[in-house]
A and B are shown apart, each in its own frame.
Chain A
Amino acid sequence: MEDLLIKIEKRNDVPTTLYFFTPFIAIILTIIGGGIIFYTLGFNPIEALKFYFITPISNLYGFSELLLKATPLCLIAIGLSFCFKSNNWNIGAEGQLTFGAIVGGGVALLFYNQEGFYILPLIIIAGAIGGMIFALIPAILKTYFNTNEILVSLMLVYVSKLILDYLVVGPWSNPEGFNFPETRQFSDSARMPLLFEGLRIHAGIFIALAAVFVSWFVLYKTYLGFQIKVSGLSLKTAKYAGFKGKTMILIVFMISGACAGMAGVGEITGPIGQLHRMISPDYGFTAIIVAFLGRLNPFGIIFASLVVSLTYLGAETAQIFLQIPQYTGQVFQGMILFFLLASDYLLFFKIKFQNFNKNELRH
């Protein structure tokens, strides 16, 4: 008689190859899971998945849209990786994005009837500062009042969206806009330059790429990066080594907020061109998935942002061709994170299959 015995053992150290391999397992499982959901809803799963993952990027325009949506996701996730690496749970990037867009948009509106090369850089800086200030609220409350940063940053998301709502309906609404909840169009100097004629991809992508490079440099080549990583691994060790914990919390939140703020500016000065209520389809929340899927590694995040961006595009295509709601993108995004987290189990535990003979035991 043969009996299969499954034994689970805790690993002592995490193998690097497996660490970067599990995201791919998660993606494959998500595609399978999506196929099953499409099948149960009465669609041909292969065809539906084709509409979802192949059709959107089968032409140049689609590819530009992929990069367009990946840009804010990548930028925010890069910022978040600083927080998550040091065990700071900033989940309010959506709020920091919104507040950055408010401050940047405010500057853009100041110059609405002017042109000049200096306008766009001013807006970007203003957006970064806006996001930074907004991220400093949970950071300061955490460092000086011992407050839980998860809840504060989350609450502030709604506050920022309501501030935006107030501004676009009230004081900042377009005087010639027939009371629509939107501001004036920004001037041409306040818009991100387009990279190609007829495509929406804009210069904001260079900000994201610069952020990737800078974050790689800071995280892997500087003392600050070392401090961030150590305190993420063990707060006790960090304290023992004499790292200034409070300053570091403030710094990682500021980096994260600045990135989210710039992502918000990229949206309003890029494809949108004004402020209104719906400046972001929850990029700030989705970027959390991107950060995890990219394993908090700058180059992993580029890859992850493209994958998650595709779920946004796929949802739009599926809405047109299959008449299913655009929210399906979130089903895929949720599933990716579920499967990724679940496959992490393989990292920390070894699963051993042992075959042995029951008769042997008797002897």
Chain B
Amino acid sequence: MSLDISFIGVLIGSIMASSVPLILAASGELITERSGVLNLGVEGMMIIGAISGFALMVITDNLFIAIIGSMLSGVIISLIFGFLTQSLLTNHVATGLALTIFGIGLSAMLGKNFVGIPGKDFPILFSSLRESIPFFGPILFGHSIVLYFAFALPFLTNYFLKKTKLGLVVRAVGDSPVSASNQGINVILVRYCCILYGGGMCGLAGAYLSLIYTPQWIENMTAGRGWIALALVVFATWSPIKVLIGAIIFGGISILQLHMQAIGFRIPVQFLIALPYLMTIIVLVVISRDSRKIKLNTPTSLGRIFYKEK
């Protein structure tokens, strides 16, 4: 295999593209989890976003509507989760699992008539620069607008959580809902907003898959990426910037295993695919051993039900 410099540029570009759905979904889930809500429905929300984005693209022939619609459908489906966990005080884990199972089933049902329809070319920005600049061209240019948004999102999320008042409110609700509530913060409302935001981002992540990455609808096309995104949030110890780094590592593994398969590399492909999961477990062990370390970033009330006597 020739490892010339332009090939490496193209390789990095494709790694970036494969990490986009992970960044989007994980950044959304990160906000949800920072508010103290553990939503295991990421996979379900992503796949609903994927089918609604694709279906809207076919029906309206308008990519803008498709993208916005996919985010909205992610919001709507996450509203089920929000209503159950926040208003009816159901268990987060069970509700999230139900959401994933339900989402995969519903997407297949809705997508029945959209199987086999070819996708549409998504507009690419700066495509002339991509060809003219060696190495940096394929890395920096010639991507969809969603990719640029995804790479900015972790920094925006970081800014939001650390520098804005609302971000502080989200963190307060996640770390100590009781004291936040005593301060006059509407804990349930904040959590609702964070859940819906997470749903929107997961919807967008799904639409990225069905409209841009592999522009078509395939049943179960998210193929476990939602679970990787969930793992990623833990892997990143709830820090947005580390989500970006982790997504590039996990995305990179998925691209590298394709190339390694092609050149007949000796390590079994399955081992490479399993790496993100194994690395997440190792990170979990390392951060959980030291109780100070896990307290640093982990939302203290993650997954716990908050109920205020009225």
**A→B interface (CB under 8 Å):** 8, 10, 37, 41, 89, 91, 141, 145-148, 150-152, 154-156, 158-159, 162-163, 165-166, 169-170, 285-286, 288-289, 292, 323-335, 337-338, 341-342, 344-345, 348
Q: Is the CB of A154 within 8 A of B227?
A: yes
Known: A147-B281, A155-B278, A159-B277. 20 other contacts (CB 8 A): A37-B109, A91-B97, A141-B284, A148-B284, A150-B93, A151-B284, A155-B231, A155-B281, A158-B227, A159-B274, A159-B278, A289-B97, A324-B109, A325-B112, A327-B104, A327-B105, A332-B105, A334-B100, A334-B105, A338-B84
23 residue pairs bridging A and B, Cβ less than 8 Å apart: A10-B309, A37-B106, A89-B93, A91-B97, A141-B285, A146-B288, A146-B289, A147-B284, A148-B288, A151-B230, A155-B277, A159-B278, A285-B97, A325-B219, A327-B107, A327-B220, A331-B105, A337-B98, A341-B88, A341-B90, A342-B84, A342-B90, A348-B89
- Nearest CB in chain A: distance from B238 CB, A: 12
CB distance from A146 to the nearest CB of B (A): 5
Query: Which residues on the A side are within 8 Å of B270 (C-beta)?
Result: 162-163, 165-166, 169
Secondary structure dominating the interface of B: helix
B224 within 8 A of A: yes
| Structural contact, A338 and B80, CB atoms closer than 8 A | yes
Residues of B within 8 A of A148 (CB): 234, 284, 288
Q: Is there an interface contact between B104 and A147, defined as CB atoms closer than 8 Å?
A: no
Which residues on the B side are within 8 Å of A89 (C-beta)? 93
Is A155 a contact of B280 with CB atoms below 8 Å?
A: yes
B103 to chain A, nearest CB (A): 7
**B291 interface residue per 8 A CB criterion:** yes
Q: How far is the CB of A321 from chain B (nearest CB, A)?
A: 14
Is there contact, CB below 8 Å, between A141 and B277? Answer: no
Give the contacting residue for A158; candidates B40, B277, B288; CB below 8 A: B277
- B181 contacts A by Cβ under 8 Å: no
- Chain A proximity of B294: nearest CB distance (Å): 8
In the bound complex, how far is the Cα of B91 from the Cα of A155, in angstroms? 20
Chain B, residue nearest A342 (CB): B88
Chain A interface mostly: helix
The distance in angstroms between the C-alpha atoms of A333 and B99, with both chains bound, is 10
Q: What residues on B are CB-neighbors of A328 within 8 Å?
A: 105, 108-109
Most chain B CB inside 10 Å of its own CB: which residue of A8, A148, A329: A148
Do the beta carbons of B281 and A146 come within 8 Å of each other? no
Q: Is the CB of B281 within 8 A of A141?
A: yes
The answer, yes or no, to whether B95 is at the interface (CB within 8 Å) is yes
Asked whether any CB of chain A lies closer than 8 Å to the CB of B94, the reply is yes
Instruction: Spell out B's residues near A (CB within 8 Å).
Output: 38, 40, 44, 80, 84, 88-91, 93-95, 97-109, 111-112, 219-220, 224, 227, 230-231, 234, 268, 270-271, 273-274, 277-278, 280-281, 284-285, 288-289, 291, 294, 303, 309-310
A325/B109 in contact, CB under 8 A: yes
Judge whether B97 and A337 touch: CB under 8 Å. yes
* Distance A324 CA – B105 CA, assembled complex (angstroms): 11
Contact B109 A41 (CB under 8 A): yes
- CB atoms of A289 and B105 under 8 A apart: no
Q: Is the CB of B288 within 8 A of A147?
A: yes
| Alpha-carbon distance A328/B103, docked complex (angstroms) | 10
Please name the residue on chain A nearest to B294 by beta carbon.
A146
Residue of A nearest to B87 (CB): A345
CB distance from A101 to the nearest CB of B (A): 16
How long is the Cα–Cα vector from A335 to B106 in the complex, in angstroms? 10
* Of the residues A150, A330, A332, A341, contact of B84 by C-beta under 8 Å: A341
The distance in angstroms between the C-alpha atoms of A326 and B104, with both chains bound, is 11
User: In the complex, which of the residues B40, B101, B224 has the most CB atoms of chain A within 10 Å of its own CB atom?
Assistant: B101
| B273 near A285: Cβ-Cβ < 8 Å | no
**A158 and B274 in contact (CB under 8 A), knowing A151-B234, A288-B94, A342-B84?**
yes
Residue of B98, B111, B231, B273 near A338 (CB, 8 A) is B98
Contact of A325 among B90, B108, B294 (CB under 8 A): B108
Known A147-B284, A159-B274; judge A330-B102 contact (CB<8 A): yes
Please report the C-alpha to C-alpha distance between residue A155 and residue B40 in the assembled complex, in whole angstroms: 13
Query: In the complex, how many angstroms separate the beta carbon of B293 from the nearest chain A beta carbon?
Result: 11
Asked, given contacts A148-B288, A338-B98, whether A344 binds B90 with beta carbons under 8 Å apart, the answer is yes
| Minimum distance in angstroms from A304 CB to a CB of chain B | 14
* Smallest beta-carbon distance B188→chain A, Å: 14
Q: Are B109 and A345 in contact (CB under 8 A)?
A: no
Q: Tell whether A341 pairs with B94 under 8 Å between CB atoms, given A148-B284, A166-B271.
A: yes
A331→B109 contact, CB < 8 A: yes
When the two chains form their complex, are residues A333 and B101 in contact, meaning their CB atoms are under 8 A apart? yes
A334 touches B102 (CB 8 A): yes
Complex contact A285–B101 (CB within 8 A):
yes
Instruction: Report yes or no: B104 in contact with A330, Cβ–Cβ below 8 A.
Output: yes
Residues of A within 8 A of B106 (CB): 37, 331, 334
The 4 closest A-B pairs by CB, nearest first: A334-B102, A330-B105, A327-B108, A331-B105
CB distance from B232 to the nearest CB of A (A): 11
Among B100, B112, B271, the one with the most A-chain Cβ atoms within 10 Å of its Cβ is: B112
- Per the bound structure, the CA–CA distance linking A169 and B271 in Å amounts to 13
Which residues of the partner chain B approach A152 to less than 8 Å between Cβ atoms?
Answer: 281, 284
Q: Which residue in chain A gives the minimum CB-CB distance to B310?
A: A8
Q: What is the bound-complex CA distance between A155 and B233, given in angstroms?
A: 13
- Contact B105–A329 (Cβ < 8 Å): yes
Give, as a whole number of angstroms, the nearest-CB distance from B296 to chain A: 14
